Amino acid sequence: MNILVIGSGGREHALVWKIAQNPRVEQIFCAPGNAGIAELATCVPIGVHDFPTLAAFAEKEEIDLTVVGPEDPLLNGIVDYFEERGLKVFGPRCDAALLEGSKSFAKEIMINYNIPTAEYRSFTNYEEALSYVREKGAPIVIKADGLAAGKGVTVAFTLEEAEEALRTIMLDAVFGEAGSRVVVEEFLQGEEMTILSFVDGETVVPMVPSQDHKPAYDDDKGPNTGGMGTYSPVPHYDDSVVQTAIETIIIPTAKAMVKEGRPFRGILYTGLMLTEQGPKVIEYNARFGDPETQVVLPRLETDLVDIFLACVDGTLDQCDVRWKDNAAVCVVLASGGYPGSYEKGKEITGLFTGREDIIVFHAGTAEKDGKTVTSGGRVLGVTAIGKDLYEAREKAYGVIPQITFEGMHYRTDIAMKALKGLEAKQN
């Protein structure tokens, strides 16, 4: 088989890494890829939005399956485009990807189908939004309605922060058209959990849960990022919590999309808040999360390509998806200044390969003059696998000091919530 992966981040590196383990896969191409992906696949310089060139490449190279990583091309209809040309592609069509592309659309689905979520209002008028925020007070959550690379959400703990977020999104238009509408939500108290699921319409196969760390600095301080690290499993919460989320949220969401005439086929990412009233939806994504993919896929025992093909062919209900009884921790190494402005082109030293229990996934890297350099805000994801979270965490942080680039910063507390939670349960 020949496989094409579309994208250039840590998620796509993890996908290529897992796909490469299938003995039936002869060639993997990645468009456009990055310096780490280039060690496993042939990188081709085609942009993720250049649908005609991507489809022509898939036809020319006799690609058996195209896997779409990022959200933008999904929302812009890459799956529809490929399917119209008779090309096999994994991911939701654009009408289903709207679950991620519009937070107000996602909220309407949740409200109409009684899926637990935060109370909300959406606005296109700044003054009306401001008036509502002042009426509700803080803490409160402000979200740009459209895609904003994981940075369009502000959890405001003061009224001043909330008003500033509204100004930035609606008046300063920092997210462009994505911020022409805002969603204002009640603040939910609790811990977050992510459940990714394989979906082929109404059949839902949940993956092992993980927990992301969005704020830039330790103790969840600082601005939101695309994700500074993650871990799996989430052992300080009982399996019953996960089961409740699957039964009351994830399966009803898939069924709702079928009833709406826009069946979801691909990866449904469900971001949850575990409240005292039970799990509630914070957000949906229409693809693998980044960096959640980097800890979930190393724990997958069943072949990933087989699952993808089952989703595309509508036979997911016949697929036996199994998981390893281990743990994984991913720590993101970011450029100085991220998630604000940062410099690129910094040489990275100390990179290593060849260990099965530690994988360095490249998120924002490039090759320049024979050297690997930084080319993004999130540069690397150091993922370690262990028998439990204690071991995986120790391994990840144990190897980070040997990797260096100018301005590098990372959180030092990834997975600590779980370890503290486990200790509290034992006491």
Q: What is the pLDDT of residues 324-345, one digit of tens each?
A: 999 999 999 999 999 999 999 9
**pLDDT (tens digit, 9 = 90+) per residue, 392-426?**
999 999 999 999 999 999 999 999 999 999 888 88
Q: Which of 70-74, 143-147, 157-161, 278-282 has the lowest mean pLDDT?
A: 143-147
**pLDDT (tens digit, 9 = 90+) per residue, 230-270?**
999 999 999 999 999 999 999 999 999 999 999 999 999 99
Contact 33, 44 (CB under 8 A): yes
Contact 86, 66 (CB under 8 A): no
Strand partners, 192: 273
**pLDDT (tens digit, 9 = 90+) per residue, 82-116?**
999 999 999 999 999 999 999 999 999 999 999 99
Phi-psi region of 77 (alpha: psi -120 to 50; beta: other; left: phi over 0): left
Q: Class for domain 125-180, per CATH?
A: alpha beta
Distance, CA of 351 to CA of 403 (rounded, Å): 6
**pLDDT (tens digit, 9 = 90+) per residue, 193-204?**
999 999 999 899
Distance, CA of 78 to CA of 58 (rounded, Å): 13
Structure-derived torsion over alpha carbons of residues 387, 390, 392, 393, reported in degrees to the nearest 10 = 170
Confidence of residue 76 (pLDDT cuts 50, 70, 90): very high
What pLDDT does 177 receive?
87
**C-alpha angle 173-283-185 in degrees, rounded to nearest 5:** 65
What pLDDT does 423 receive?
87
pLDDT of residue 152 exceeding 90, the answer is: no
**pLDDT (tens digit, 9 = 90+) per residue, 25-34?**
999 999 999 9
Residues 6+ apart with CB under 8 A from 11: 69, 70, 287, 288, 289, 290, 291, 293, 294
**C-alpha angle 298-301-307 in degrees, rounded to nearest 5:** 100
What pLDDT does 425 receive?
81
> What is 166-228 written as a DSSP string?
HIIIIIS-TTGGGGSSEEEEEPPPSEEEEEEEEEESS-EEE---BEE--EEEGGGEEEE-S-S
Confidence of residue 224 (pLDDT cuts 50, 70, 90): confident
What pLDDT does 355 receive?
85
Topology, domain 191-426: D-amino Acid Aminotransferase; Chain A, domain 1 (3.30.470)
pLDDT of residue 354 exceeding 80, the answer is: no
Confidence of residue 322 (pLDDT cuts 50, 70, 90): very high
Domain with CATH 3.40.50.20 in the chain: 2-93
What pLDDT does 151 receive?
72
Distance, CA of 189 to CA of 273 (rounded, Å): 8
How large is the average pLDDT for residues 358-371? 95
Residues 6+ apart with CB under 8 A from 95: 262
- Sort 218 into a burial class: Cβ within 10 Å, 0-12 / 13-18 / 19+: middle
Location of structure tokens 């994994």: 90
The first and second tokens of residue 347, run together, are 């040489």
Distance, CA of 97 to CA of 99 (rounded, Å): 5
Write down how long the chain is.
427
Strand partners, 337: none
How large is the average pLDDT for residues 282-299? 97
DSSP state of 299: G
Strand partners, 382: 331, 360
Centre a 10 Å sphere on the Cβ of residue 198 and count the other Cβ atoms it contains: 23
pLDDT of residue 353 exceeding 80, the answer is: no
pLDDT of residue 77 exceeding 90, the answer is: yes
pLDDT of residue 134 exceeding 80, the answer is: yes
Domain 2-93 is of which CATH architecture? 3-Layer(aba) Sandwich (3.40)
End-to-end CA distance of the chain: 52
How large is the average pLDDT for residues 159-173? 94
Is pTM beyond 0.85 here? yes
Contact 82, 94 (CB under 8 A): no
> What is 342-363 written as a DSSP string?
-----B-B------SSEEEEES
pLDDT, mean over the chain: 95
What pLDDT does 150 receive?
66
